[in-house]
Structures are given as structure tokens and as C-alpha cells.
DNA sequence: ACGAGACATTGACAACCATCGATGCGTTGC
DNA sequence: GCAACGCATCGATGGTTGTCAATGTCTCGT
């Protein structure tokens, strides 16, 4: 069986840890996926380039601005797309990428979500 | 030599991509490291637990609340510490972790940093 | 229809990483 | 001092991932 802490706990009147706000359902994994998508420096730069545009940017213009190959950029764009951070629209042979409003909103709330949110004390 | 796009570009009057706000120096890697620290679901949960406390939380209390082993929790706490998200203070045998205000501030700004920031057009 | 170009997909490979068991290092109580 | 405990570190391992070269698919101009 699991052992409990046997040593007398450090002095503190209310040493009972608080519970973080329980993230509804798969929200936790969703958030982690969002962060994972931005965890790579190259991909973060790609996203920043896409997010900086006033209108959708052509994939070829993204490829031109990075040292990695075209398949790699395509892969990064796909990861960003799966994470809900960018959206793609086709025009003929070209693929145009734009930031996804939902992803941006979630990203904006992420800071507040993680900053300070305690709910209830727990045994 | 590198080939240029030869096909006539899609119709757009101002099809010149904008540049994202150039992140000062190693800021880009710093941000990526921040996101990488939160990219793992378990570690994200650990951080949320620490961030939810009003006072520093004992490492043993963190270990108690997760299914992974104590070395793994210790590892996660170290990663969060290296990312500047939590701070540690010792009291005897115990280690108390608290959210790092700087990390929280950077995390809060991250959303705005990535949302919409264009600066100048570029050839 | 044919070829060329834009983009996605596949397979392979090296680097990274989350996790565990074992061990080490301080500290505390006896 | 000594044994027990809290926590960190080490070594190993299986899974994940960023990157590339090669190839596939679709579209457009001629």
C-alpha cells in the first residue's frame, strides 16, 4: 500500500492544498496541444508570420522565409492547423493560411486560465 | 541556385507579406521554452496545481496528487523552474513551490504578443 | 494532352523527452 | 550516530518529433 508522509508536516495553520479549477473534459489536453504546437521555435516563427498578416498569406511565401525545406514548412502548417491556430483556404494551386480566431481567443484566455484560479479546499 | 516561383502569383494588389514584430534577441527561444514547459499534460496539471495555491505548496503534496512517480514530479517541477514559471524555497527537508510572477506575466503577455502584431512590409 | 509548378504525403533517421527504478544527498528525530 | 524520510539526480527505455529526400496529387498554361 502507498505510504503516507510520516514526518510531522511543516508548521502551517492551513496547509491543505487548494484544487485548481477543474478544466472541463478534454480541455486540459486541448490546452497542452495548443502549447505543444507553439513549443518549436521554427513553428512559433511560422505562426507569428501567419498571425502578422492582414490577409491570408500564401504558403510559398512562408517557405521562402525559412531555412527549412518545403515539406517541413508544410508539416508545421499542418500541426498549427490541427491545433486550431491557423486556417487554410485554397485558390487554385495556392494555399493561403490565416490565423484562426478561435485559436487566438483560446490562446488569449490561456494566460488568465493558468494565472490564478483556485476553487475549493480538498482533504 | 534556388528557383523562384515562376507561376504568375495569385491576383492581389498588395500581396507583399508583412513581417511579424521582431522578437528582441533570444526572446523567441524563451517563448518557445515557455510553451514547451506547458506542452505536456501532466506538467500542465502540475503547474495549474502550483499556480492555484495562495501559499507555496509542498512538493510532497504535489506528488500525492498525481499517478506518476516522485522522480517524475521532481523532473516536471525542475522543467517548470527552468522555464521561469515556478520558484522554489526550502524549509528543512521540504521544498515549497510557488508560481513565479515573472513567468505568469510573460505568459499573460504571450497571447497579446502572438495575436496581432505586424510591423513593416518587406520585399 | 502534356509538362511544369505548388503543395501534401510517405519513409527514414536522429534527437529529444516522459517515465521509471535505483541511488545519492541533506535533514530530522531518537 | 543512526535510521528514516523528503527530494534530487542518474541511467535506461520506449515513444514522440523535427527534418530531409523522394514521391504523389492536383492545377494551370500552352
Per-residue pLDDT reduced to its tens digit, A10-57: 654 346 666 666 666 578 899 999 999 999 999 999 999 999 999 999
User: Is residue B93's pLDDT more than 70?
Assistant: yes
- Which residues, other chains included, contact A109 with Cβ-Cβ below 8 Å and sequence gap of 6+? B111
Per-residue pLDDT reduced to its tens digit, A74-121: 999 999 999 999 999 999 999 999 999 999 999 988 877 787 555 555
**The pLDDT value given to residue B116:** 59
Quick one: closest CA in B to A2, which residue? B64
Of A49, A57, A108, the CB nearest to B115: A108
Which chain D positions have some atom within 7 A of a protein CB? Answer: 4-11, 17-22, 26-29
Q: Does B63 touch chain A (CB under 8 A)?
A: no
Q: Which residue has the cell 517541477?
A: B77
Distance from the Cα of B31 to chain A's closest Cα (Å) equals 8
Q: From residue B64, how far is each of A2, B49, B61, B90, B93 by CA, in Å?
A: 10, 12, 5, 19, 17
**The pLDDT value given to residue B113:** 76
User: Is residue B69's pLDDT more than 70?
Assistant: yes
| Whether the Cβ atoms of residue B55 and residue A13 lie closer than 8 Å to each other | no
Q: Does B65 touch chain A (CB under 8 A)?
A: yes
Cβ of B52 within 8 Å of Cβ of A93? The answer is no
pLDDT band at B4 (very low <50, low <70, confident <90, very high): very low
**pTM for this one?**
0.87
Which residues in chain A are contacts of B111 at CB distance < 8 A? 104, 107-111
Per-residue pLDDT reduced to its tens digit, B13-31: 346 666 666 666 578 889 9
Whole-number Å distance between alpha carbons of B68 and B65: 9
Per-residue pLDDT reduced to its tens digit, B34-68: 999 999 999 999 999 999 999 999 999 999 999 99
Residues having Cβ less than 7 A from any atom in strand D: A 3, 5-7, 36, 39-40, 42-43, 67-69, 71-72, 75-76, 79, 92-93; B 7-8, 58-60, 63, 70-71, 74-75, 77-78, 88, 93-95
Three-state helix/strand/coil letters over chain B? CCCCCCCCCCCCCCCCCEEECCCCCCHHHHHHHHHHHCCCHHHHHHHHHHHCCCCCEEHHHHHHCCCCCHHHHHHHHHHHHHCCCEEEEEECCEEEEEECHHHHHHHHHHHHHHHCCEEEECC
**The pLDDT value given to residue A123:** 44
CA atom of A15 to C1′ atom of C30, Å: 26
**The pLDDT value given to residue B27:** 83
**The pLDDT value given to residue A26:** 78
**The pLDDT value given to residue A35:** 97
Of B5, B23, B41, the CB nearest to A28: B41
State percent of chain B over pLDDT 90.
62
Q: Which residue has the cell 493560411?
A: A97
Amino acid at each position: 500500500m502507498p505510504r503516507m508522509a510520516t514526518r510531522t508536516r511543516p508548521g502551517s495553520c492551513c496547509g491543505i492544498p487548494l484544487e485548481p479549477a477543474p478544466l472541463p473534459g478534454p480541455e486540459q489536453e486541448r490546452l497542452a496541444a495548443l502549447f505543444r504546437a507553439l513549443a518549436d521555435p521554427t513553428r512559433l516563427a511560422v505562426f507569428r508570420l501567419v498571425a502578422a498578416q492582414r490577409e491570408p498569406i500564401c504558403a510559398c511565401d512562408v517557405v521562402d522565409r525559412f531555412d527549412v525545406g518545403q515539406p517541413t514548412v508544410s508539416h508545421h502548417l499542418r500541426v498549427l492547423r490541427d491545433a486550431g491556430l491557423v486556417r487554410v483556404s485554397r485558390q487554385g494551386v495556392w494555399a493561403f493560411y490565416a490565423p484562426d480566431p478561435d485559436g487566438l481567443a483560446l490562446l488569449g484566455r490561456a494566460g488568465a486560465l493558468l494565472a490564478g484560479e483556485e476553487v475549493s479546499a480538498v482533504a
